Structure 1
Amino acid sequence: MAEAPKIELFIKASIDAQSVGNCPFCQRLFMILWLKGANFTLSTVDTRKAADVLKTLAPGSQLPFIIYNDEVKTDTNKIEEFLEEILAPPTYPKLCCRYKESNGAGEDIFRKFSAYIKNPNPGLNDRLEKNFLMTLVKLNLYLMTPLPYELDKDPDVTESKRHYLDGDSLTLADCNLLPKLHIVKVVCKEYRNFTIPAELKGLTRYLEHAYKEDVFHHTCPVDSEILEAYSAVAKYLSK
């Protein structure tokens, strides 16, 4: 039996310099390693002292990064590809999507959210909110549309009941999207009193299932950490 690799994950620390900080890329890799069932050590890095840590361990890079058997890897997308390739069946589960469309679902949400939440002009709010809402509607449509495996089981099914983007199990696509959706949910409630409409049944179902998963719930930063991170860029609208 091959010896288990030594894996160290370095992510952004919270304000207390110990807990998980606000960084969807950090949470993404944390979730992937957790879902893989790999043994790894987690180090939260205080960004106020990060320069010293990075200079020593990963010069010229940013958080997150991993050290895999003494080899430093720094690009989040490349790390994801590497872990999927190296932590492979039969020892580790496969996490890639069956359907390529699942990988791109929700990809425009964070950009429209950023424009919406950083806008200080009340006159522009309705248009920006509508643009943002349309991205949620588009994701909801994907989550409500039956995937081929569901149609194979029942050709007459008209509405998907799946839990996640690609089926009933979390995949790499979910590890990418869910941390961003959590930030969206927390920040929009605080700055715009906006909550995801209950009419978006697919998206509501998606988040409800995700929050029940330890791998998601326990890798999320606390709400106050997210709000602190956005305090410099998000704008309240003057009444």
Structure 2
Amino acid sequence: MTDTSAAEEEKDPDIELFVKAGSDGESIGNCPFSQRLFMILWLKGVVFNVTTVDLKRKPADLHNLAPGTHPPFLTFEGEVKTDINKIEEYLEDMLAPPRYPKLSAKNRESNTAGNDIFAKFSAYIKNIRPENNAVLEKSLNKALAKLDEFLLSPLPEELQDGRNVAEGGSIRKYLDGDTLTLADCNLLPKLHVVKVLFLLLLSNYRQKVMINQLQKWAVSRYSISLPLVFHSDLFVSGCLFQDLVLCPKFL
């Protein structure tokens, strides 16, 4: 094998991720779906470019690149990919071991844990009829409690070797163990939005009740790991408070 062909094999594919811009039209805006794809690419360890798209002034070349599509989407070696779930599958297939880490969860249940929280939170926080608060809050609490139960329930491999199991249950860091998986890339950004909006939009009484309840659960331990994942304020600065308020479409 020549040096040139070896270098070509070692070169990362040409990947560009297009994400929604923040309220200033330039910074990375709040979009848990964009963050999901960013996390996947970051965890894969591949070099990629990020382009922010101002939806108010979408450039003509981007319109031609992905007509009728809002970010996030990406190009992989020039090929446009727009479906988020299919992008996840594609990246897992194309960026595979031994060069890139496998990110799929070992346990199937990890992929669906907490998958209804975002919708229930959206219904709860958008509600303008006080008489519906109790029912919607109960539904949200039930979804959070279900995720909490999953986080505290030891995984099969934890039961086998006794690892990460304490008196109160599993103390693993993430959904499928101590390593981030595709399941976390999907859920963690959404939980981050939920936590921030709790602080921003709820009345003091409702906020206090829900925050106190959240802090008692393993969900709080899990959701706080998002900023720690990157050892920086990437997602904190990317989730600008004004964008969280101005972009209810992502709830």
Q: TM-score, normalised by structure 2?
A: 0.86
For residues 199 and 122 of structure 2, the distance between their equivalents in structure 1, rounded to whole angstroms, comes to 14
Mapped partners of 1:233, 1:71: distance in 2: 26
Q: Deviations over 1:78-117 (max 9, x none)?
A: 1100000000111111100000000000001011111101
Contact 1:34 1:215 in 2 (8 A): no
Report if the CA contact (8 A) 2:189-2:226 is conserved: no
- Tell me, in whole angstroms, the C-alpha distance in 2 between the residues paired with 1:174 and 1:215: 16
Is 2:211 the partner of 1:190?
no
Equivalent residue for 1:103, pick from 104, 107, 111: 111
Shift of 1:217: 4.9
Gaps of 5+ in 2: 1-5
Q: How far apart, CA to CA, are the structure 1 residues paired with 2:231 and 2:184?
A: 11
Tell me, yes or no, if the aligned pair for 1:210 and 1:216 is still in contact at 8 Å: no
Matched, 1:203 2:213: no
Q: Does 1:171 align with 2:181?
A: yes
Q: Distance in 2 between matches of 1:216 and 1:99?
A: 29
Mapped partners of 1:216, 1:176: distance in 2: 19
| Other-structure match for 1:237 | none
Secondary structure of 1:84's match? helix
CA displacement at 1:208 relative to structure 2:
2.7
Contact 1:54–1:60 (8 Å) recurs in 2: no
- For 1:213, the equivalent position in structure 2 comes to 229
Amino acid in the other structure paired with 1:166: D
Q: 1:222 matched to which residue of 2?
A: 240
Per mean C-alpha deviation after superposition, the further-off stretch among 57-66 and 25-34 is 57-66
CA distance 1:19–1:56, change in 2 (3 Å): same
Identity score, percent: 48
Q: Does 1:144 align with 2:144?
A: no
**C-alpha RMSD over aligned residues:** 2.1
Contact residue 31 and residue 250 of structure 2 kept, 8 A: no
After the TM superposition, which parts of structure 1 deviate over 6 Å for at least 4 consecutive aligned residues?
none
- Map of 1:88 onto structure 2: 96
Contact 1:28 / 1:176 at 8 angstroms: preserved in 2?
yes
Structure 1 residue 211 displacement after superposition:
2.6
Q: State whether structure 2 residue 55 is matched by structure 1 residue 47.
A: yes
| Larger relative helix fraction | 2
Moved more, 190-199 or 22-31: 190-199
Find the aligned partners of 1:57 and 1:233 in 2 and give their Cα distance. Answer: 23
- Structure-2 change in CA distance of 1:233 and 1:211 (3 Å): closer
**Alpha-carbon contact 2:173-2:179 (below 8 Å) kept:** yes
Q: Aligned pairs, how many?
A: 232
AA aligned to 1:204 is S
Whole-angstrom CA distance in 2 between matches of 1:80 and 1:215: 23
Residues 179-235 of structure 1 show CA distances to partners (whole Å, capped at 9, x for unaligned) of: 1111111112222224252221x21221233331117851342233212223x999x
2:3 is matched with none
Whether the aligned pair in 2 keeps the contact of 1:95 and 1:172 (CA below 8 Å) is: yes
Query: What's the TM-score, normalizing by structure 1?
Result: 0.90
Is 1:66 paired with 2:74? yes
3-state secondary structure, aligned to 2:170: coil
For the residue of structure 2 that corresponds to 1:43, the secondary structure is strand
